[in-house]
Every structure is written in structure tokens, then in C-alpha cells.
Chain A
Amino acid sequence: MKFLHLVFSNLMRKKLRTSLTVLSIFIAFMLYGILCTIKESFTAGIDVAGADRLVVRNKITLIQPLPDSYLQKIVALSGVDSAVHFTWFGGIYRDDAALFFPSMPVSDIDTFLDIYPEYKLSDEAKEKWHSTRTGVIVGKQTAERFEWKVGDRIPLHSPIWPRKEDQVWEFDIVGIYEGASAKTDITGFYFRYDYFNEGRERGEGLAGWYTVRVKDPDKAPEVASAIDSEFQNSPYETKAEPEGAFAQAFVQQMGDIGAILMSILSVVFFTILLVTGNTMAQSVRERTQELGVLKSMGFSDGLVLRLVLAESCLIVVVGGFIGIGLAWLMAAGGSPVPDMLPIFYFPTEYVIIGIGLVIALGLAAGIIPAIEARRLRIAVALRRNA
């Protein structure tokens, strides 16, 4: 610690050079933070997916429906604990498609909340959902977005599922659910399937997809193939797969986002390594003689090495921590596009990785100049421009 003043003063030697280096490190780490946040918002659903959940969809495509009568057949299969079905409703609020949030009927609220323990809803709300035909539960984020409260009546229309006689669909909010963690998507709008099924103009008896909870996650692949063979050679063949794979199929359509972000970050960090390494190399070369003087006083080779490393770590720590900190603040400020990226936060594990990267970068950028400084022969260093 007593050497901190010396380390810091050396960085103040060329203020402009130090500032520019800190600035580029700062930008790199802020970019890191923002890209991690974006990556997380694209892939959060995959991590969240319970290992005990299977998604069963129409074998042809995701948008082809399945009969709602499959529910009893699926639940009857051995290895299946419970099942629930959803149908993509595509509800539009105030005739403005830009005000998007996911809306869908669900076969049963209790089973749904059982299978998705990450959604938190009061018992009172569950009861009201059962007693209210038009009842709907809404995620906290969407409720706050439109300033909805329990008891509000929400009119929606759906281009996919028009209501009989051109009526508008109307829903009564019976509860607002919250997420168990920041990763939980709390933008959903879930209402009763019976209300939906009887009210729709066409497609009666058809649901979108099923989510199945298996009794033993280790047996999930066997249960999945049992489901698929159950409906083989029927007009509606199924494809059952683990929920993670299902969510990932969504993400895959947007390209392998993780890989793209990683390659951007690698290039950025490599550039920063060169910039910082160059700053340190210059700074050490400029003061060859001073390093010789320190050694003549009895500063050991090892101490000189550590001082140079401390200097390069300090420069990266200052830029890196400000960058990570600012990215964190930005993420905490909420998503700039809540309808596109509802889950928006800078995950703690990426903050920790970022801090690790800061230290690694500081050491990597400083190690060559530090070794050079350690090896410096005093007599030679002192002769320089003397």
C-alpha cells in the first residue's frame, strides 16, 4: 500500500496518454456490460427452463395447433406428472401492435403455477381466476407499463383468434404475478381457455402447445419419445422436447447471439490488450533510468516487477470498474425496449467475470514490460543517456 503513491504518480506522468488509455478500457468494459445484458435478455428463458419440463408441439411447425383433447392422454402416460396447454393469442391492445406483450389462454391456472414455480401469485388471485370466466393474471412488468390494477377490464382484439360476432375480447384482471428472480419473464397475460374456446369464431378444440412436467428429470427423453409415439400416425403428430431446446429454437432464429457477442468482445478485448500493453511498454521504456535508480536504492527485481504490474492493473481497474459500473446502472435503469427485451439486467455472474477480466487484462498488459523492468541491469540502466 505504501507504494501506491509511487504507482499512481507514474500514471500521472503523461496525463493525456493515461486518460486515453483509461477511456478506451472504460468503453470496452461498458460495451462488455451492455452486451452481457443483451445476451442475457435473449437467452434468459433457456437458463430458466426447468429441467423437468417438456414442450410438446405440432410436429410440422410451432404454429400448427394440437387438439386440446391430448391433455388427458398425455397426463395418463406413465412418467408424466402434470400438463397444461397454451395457445398463442396475439392480443392487441388499443389497436396498437407496438404495445406488444405475450397473451395466451391456459388450460388450468393451478397446474400452470405448479409447473412454473418461478411465477408468484396469491392464493386469493388463483381463486378469483377460477370464479371469473373472463379472469386474467398479468405479469407485474406489463401491469406497471400500462398502469393496470386488479379489477381493471382490459379489451383486446386478436387477428389470429377473432371473437364470435366481431366482438372485442374483454378480460378482468384478477391478479398480478411476480417473478421469483430477475430472470423471470413477468410480461405475460394468462387467461382462461374455456372462455377463449367457446368465444372464438373458429378452431374450437385446438390448442397451441403443451408444457408437460415429468416425474423424474432424468427420464425426460424417454417420456418425450413416449408422448411422440402415442400420437404417431394421427392427424396431429407431436414433437416433444425439453423446454430449453424449445426456447433455444426461438433464439436460434436470431442467429447464435451468444457467439456473435463473444466474438465482438474478443476483438474488443484484444484491441484493449494491445492499447494498454503499448502504454505500459512505452511508460517503462521512458523510465529505464529511473528503474535503475530504484534498484540502486535496493528495490529488488521482484518488487520492480510487481510495481509495473500494479501500475497496469490500476489503469485497467479504474477504466474497467467505471465501465462495468456504468453498464450496471444503465441495466438497472430498465430496458430501453421493454416489449422486445422484457428481461433486462446485468447478471451478477457476468459482473464477477468482468472483474476477473479486469484483473486478467491488467496482468496480461503489464507482464511483458514488467519482466523487462525486472531484468534490467542496473549498471546498464544508469548509463542510459547519462
Chain B
Amino acid sequence: MSTENGSSGNGALVRLSKISKNFRRGSEDIHVLSDLNLEVGKGEFLALMGPSGSGKSTLLNLIGGLDRTTVGTIEVGGEHIEKMSDRALAAWRARHIGFVFQFYNLLPVLSAEKNVELPLLLTNLSSLERKKHVAAALDIVGLSHRANHSPRTLSGGEQQRVGIARAIVTDPTLLLCDEPTGDLDRASGDEILSLMQALNKDQGKTFIMVTHDPHASARAGRTVHLDKGQLSTEAPE
């Protein structure tokens, strides 16, 4: 297995081998990813950069089991997710993956704490235990005082912190963030990046973050660039 991307070899948490992904648009096939390899170590903070439309979100979705590869295998924590049924994959996501989206994607009809509670509804936790976990997650992101607020009444930065609380509340193996600061001003974006960095350093959470902001990627431990369906450590000219 190639380790050219500087991953931690056998300790890899995520291992993509010879991944290809095509989309059909009308009668033609678009090759978004071709024969791509990637390893991400446990506790890493990886930034994934690349021009718009290069396939960053597609790659992130594949790692998170939201979409299926055309060719190739994906191993996360030793499990081959491409072999799982849709049902098993959903259960696997609930246990292992936390997503953070560019536009926060909170449910507008639920309060901040009810949004954070959503992933816990899939567990066997009692209502009381769920409340405790939600309170802890909101405390980590510094939003305990906004628990009952509706997303509408929160600023962009606050909404994204709720989004992060929702992603970490189940203590997932892997956090996948698709341009988490893409919709925020510099100051709020920096706060979010600091929060992610702290979660990575203090709690050992593994992050894969899509961004096209060099400012953001500078906070990551390692950066890879996606271009023309392939990954490289160097930014393309």
C-alpha cells in the first residue's frame, strides 16, 4: 500500500485504494475521481484543497459513506464500507461519522439543543442521558447559554458551533467538514478553526476538512490538493 501521502502507515484510520468516481450526466460519464489513493492517520487534521468542482465534496461524501465509489475500496477503522448494505452503512455513519456542512444545515424548526440531540435519537440512550450529552457538547463549543434558541436567532458563527456540537455529540471516530468556514467572516471563521484545532489536539479527534481558503488549511496538520481527479501534496501551478 502506498504511503506517499505521508500518512501513518499501518495506523491509518482511513484508507482509500484506487478510488474512481464517475457521474452520469445525460449520455456522458464525468470522471470526477480517478484511481485515487489516500491514507489518513488516527488523530490527524487533514485539509483537502482544490479548485471548485474538482471533486472535494464528492471525495468527502465517499469517505463518510454518503455515496458509493464506482471502483475502489474504502476502509475506515478496519471496516470496508463499500461492502456494506445501505442499512448497515446508515448504522455505521451514526456510530462513526460526524459531518459539518458549509451552510450549517441545522433544522430550522428545532432549537439548538434539539438539533444537537438528533444523532442521539438513533442510540439507546435515555432521555436524561441524551440531555447530559447534549449539554456537554454545547459546553465544548461554548454555546450553553444559547441552548433553547432557534437557529434563526443565532449568528453564522454560532450556528456553525451548533453544527460542530451536533457532529461531536456521539463521539464519532471521524469528523468530516465540508468548507466549514466557507460562509463565515474571517473572525468567526477563525473561532471555528480554533475550536476544531482544540478538539483535534485536546480530544484527539480526527478531522478531514475541505477548504479552498489557505488561511484555513494553515491550521491543519497536513494538506493535500485535489486536481483532475488525483491527489498531490503540492498545490497545482
Contact = CB atoms under 8 A, between A and B. Distances in A.
A299 B90 CA distance: 6
Interface of A is mostly: helix
Interface in A283-329: 289-290, 293-303
A9 B101 contact: no
A76 interface: no
Contacts of B86: 300-301
B24 to A, nearest CB: 12
Given A6-B110, A9-B109, A300-B87, A378 B101 contact: no
A6 B90 contact: no
B234 to A, nearest CB: 28
Contacts of B18: none
Contact of A3 (B61, B103, B107, B121): B121
A226 to B, nearest CB: 71
A297 B86 CA distance: 13
A294 B109 CA distance: 14
Contact of A297 (B58, B61, B108, B119): B119
Given A6-B118, A378-B66, A298 B105 contact: no
Interface in A136-180: none
Interface string A345-386: 000000000000000000000000000000001110011001
A298 B109 contact: no
B127 A301 contact: no
Contacts of B41: none
B78 to A, nearest CB: 19
Contact of B67 (A5, A12, A378): A378
Interface residues of B, number: 31
B114 A9 contact: yes
Contacts of B108: 13
A2 B121 contact: yes
A290 B105 contact: yes
A3 to B, nearest CB: 6
A10 interface: yes
Contacts of B119: 297-298
Contacts of A378: 61, 66-67
A290 B151 CA distance: 14
Contacts of B67: 377-379
Interface of B is mostly: helix
A294 B103 CA distance: 15
A382 B87 contact: no
A301 B87 CA distance: 7
Given A5-B114, A9-B110, A289 B105 contact: yes
Name, among B66, B95, B99, the residue most crowded by chain A CB atoms within 10 Å (CB to CB).
B66
B94 A382 contact: no
Interface string B67-90: 100000000000000000011001
Contacts of B99: 293, 296-297
A386 B102 contact: yes
A383 B97 CA distance: 19
23 contacts: A2-B127, A6-B107, A6-B114, A10-B109, A289-B105, A290-B105, A293-B101, A293-B107, A295-B66, A296-B64, A296-B66, A296-B99, A297-B122, A298-B91, A298-B122, A300-B86, A300-B91, A301-B86, A303-B122, A378-B61, A378-B67, A379-B58, A382-B61
Given A6-B118, A9-B110, A9-B114, 16 more contacts: A5-B110, A6-B110, A12-B109, A290-B107, A293-B105, A295-B90, A296-B99, A297-B93, A297-B118, A298-B91, A299-B122, A300-B86, A300-B87, A300-B90, A301-B87, A378-B61
